[in-house]
Amino acid sequence: MAVETRGVLFEYGISIPPLALVFQFNPQEITRSRTVTVKTGNAPGARGGYDFVSPLETARVSQGVEMQAESFSIDILLDATDALNEGNAVASTFGVQPQIDTLRSMAEPKNQGPGGVKVLSSLGLSGTRAFERQETASVLVFAWGMQLLPVFLTGVGQKEALHLPNLMPYRATMSLTMQVIESANPFFLADKVRQTMGTTLNLATGFQTG
């Protein structure tokens, strides 16, 4: 029997509290989007770029591009029903609230402390106001199959469906929006290599089946 690979979202860094979430149920859909703005300059007599006849001339058709960082969104289901049936003490008292709190903490700013440790800004004890402190966002890694994408968590939506007698939720749907960190980091560079390999495989498969 094949074991299903679980999606994981974890923080890349040292944080208090440590932040990681393994998806109990992988999302059925992922929406990915990218916006590209093509610059055509002041091409004379053209409406969409310079004239061209051969592939050697296509480099000057546009005068450059501007790309927004790729973003994607998913809905994940948190459900403590199985844990409740197994008599799990944490689930019986808190339901899925610990997982919800983890996701909310991933989206909230951090303060850099001694030794590079990051602490939630809300725990700052210096007495200074939040906007006067140096705050940073958590660098997260979204592990999905063969992909390890570095991301910022830019949106968290929460819809609770069922609750325990103490009103703690034990079933909830979380809507997450993430922005890929497209910089010289090992995760993004590795994904570009994987993307190039996938393009090559597509070309080879196309010739075989065409």
Summarize pLDDT for 11-40 with one digit per residue, the tens.
998 887 889 999 988 998 999 999 998 887
Q: What is the pLDDT of residue 45?
A: 63
Q: Does the residue 204 lie in any domain? A: no
Q: What is the pLDDT of residue 14?
A: 82
pLDDT at 3 over 90: no
Tell me the pLDDT band of 141, cut-offs 50, 70 and 90. Answer: very high
Q: Does the residue 88 lie in any domain? A: yes
Q: What is the mean pLDDT of residues 120-129?
A: 61
Question: How many domains would you assign to the chain?
Answer: 1
Q: For 101, what's the count of Cα atoms within 13 Å in the CB-facing half-sphere?
A: 11
Q: Which two tokens stand for residue 185?
A: 């980091």
Q: How far apart are CA 192 and CA 198, in angstroms?
A: 10
Q: Which residues pair with 32 in a beta bridge?
A: 72
Q: Which two tokens stand for residue 118?
A: 């990051």
DSSP of 127-177:
---GGGS-EEPPPEEEEETTEEEEEEEEEEEEEEEEE-TTS-EEEEEEEEE
Q: How far apart are CA 47 and CA 198, in angstroms?
A: 34
Q: Does the residue 90 lie in any domain? A: yes
Q: What is the pLDDT of residue 158?
A: 96
Q: Does the residue 152 lie in any domain? A: yes
How much is the pTM?
0.81
Q: Does the residue 25 lie in any domain? A: yes
The phi, psi pair for 22, rounded to 5°, reads -95, 130
pLDDT at 104 over 90: yes
Q: Does the residue 136 lie in any domain? A: yes
Give per-residue pLDDT as tens, 142-197: 999 888 999 999 999 999 999 999 999 999 999 999 999 999 999 999 999 999 99
Q: Does the residue 207 lie in any domain? A: no
Contact predicate 30/72, CB 8 Å = yes
Q: What is the mean pLDDT of residues 121-145?
A: 72
Q: What is the mean pLDDT of residues 70-97?
A: 96
Weakest-pLDDT range from 2-6, 135-139, 205-209: 205-209
Residue 116 domain boundaries:
8-50+69-182
Q: What is the Cα Rg of the chain in Å?
A: 23
- Which of 115, 118, 148, 124 lies closest to 136 in space, CA to CA? 118
User: β-strands 36-39, 64-67: how paired?
Assistant: antiparallel
- Listed ranges 2-6, 99-103, 107-111, 203-207; the one with the highest mean pLDDT: 99-103
Tell me the pLDDT band of 136, cut-offs 50, 70 and 90. Answer: confident
- Which of 147, 152, 176, 174 lies closest to 161 in space, CA to CA? 174
Q: CA triplet 67, 199, 2: central angle to 5 degrees?
A: 110
Q: Does the residue 209 lie in any domain? A: no
